[in-house]
Amino acid sequence: MEQPPSASTPTVTDDQAQHLEKPSAKSPESPVMWGHVRLQVAVAILSFLGATAGVFVSARFEEEKARRDNTYAFKTSILAKRIELIERTARILNKSDAAAHLAQLADLDLKLAKATSELAMVAMAKTGKPGSVNLDEPNYLEKFIATKLQLGEITVEFGTVMVMNKLYFGLKTQQAVDELTQDNKVAWWGEEATARKKRLLTVQFEELPLGLEDRFQTPKR
């Protein structure tokens, strides 16, 4: 009895078997290649982070430098203005004698102008004619006006300097200015105000560095 033919089994040659046993050298899953890729990515990330950090640090440095420079310039200008005001205060207070003299002269001229006017009125009442007073006598009213104008110039300068002192100095200077200017019974040019004027200059020197303790520090570059 004949046996049924068996199914044919594919045969593998020796060359094919050797080819199947060798791993492909070009496989993308090679550990060496993946390590190289990871290294390149890490280097790229670190380079980006380094560049970003450098830009950030440089920007912050420039911002801080600009802030220091502006602060230094501001404090320097305040110091210069305070020194200028101390000098102006000393100059205007040194005009106290001139102001006192003008005040006395203006008061005298006003009294003489009133007396001259009264004499003219009496003479006119007796004679019934105007112009009976000696016109060669000085016009004391005009002298009074001129003297008051001179005193007014000094007084305006004094007031301006005192206002600036209150703006640029501290509490002690502000109080000293008020003591010198707000007493209606004592004129700032009078001898009674001598102690107040000395105190004003003293506290101005004390408050010269107020709020500017680091004014002599040069800005860091």
Q: Does 189 or 214 have the greater pLDDT score?
A: 189
Residue 215 domain flag:
no
pLDDT digit string (tens) for 172-204?
999 999 999 998 889 999 999 999 999 999 999
Q: What is the pTM of this model?
A: 0.63
pLDDT at 205 (0 to 100): 95
For residue 156, pLDDT beyond 60: yes
Residue 116: other Cβ atoms inside 10 A: 17
* Residue 128 resides in a domain: yes
Separation of alpha carbons 177 and 161, rounded Å:
10
Contacts made by residues 30-36, CB under 8 angstroms, sequence distance 24+:
none
Q: What range defines the domain where residue 196 resides?
A: 56-206
To the nearest whole number, what is the mean pLDDT of the chain? 78
**In a domain? residue 36:** no
Would you state the pLDDT for residue 43? 65
* pLDDT (average), residues 200-211: 94
pLDDT tens, 32-51? 666 666 667 666 676 666 66
Place of tokens 């001229």: 109
The 3-state DSSP composition of the chain as helix, strand, coil percent (nearest 5) reads 70, 0, 30
Identify whether 201 is part of a domain: yes
Q: Residue 112 and residue 107: Cα distance in Å, rounded?
A: 9
User: CA 210 → CA 126, 131, 160, distances in Å?
Assistant: 71, 65, 22
| Domain presence at residue 7 | no
d(CA 58, CA 70): 18
The answer to whether 75 and 212 have CB atoms below 8 angstroms apart is yes
- For 115-126, write each residue's pLDDT tens digit: 887 777 776 777
User: What is the distance between the alpha carbons of residues 205 and 132, in angstroms, rounded to a whole number?
Assistant: 61
Q: What is the pLDDT of residue 216?
A: 42
The reply to whether 49 falls in a domain is: no
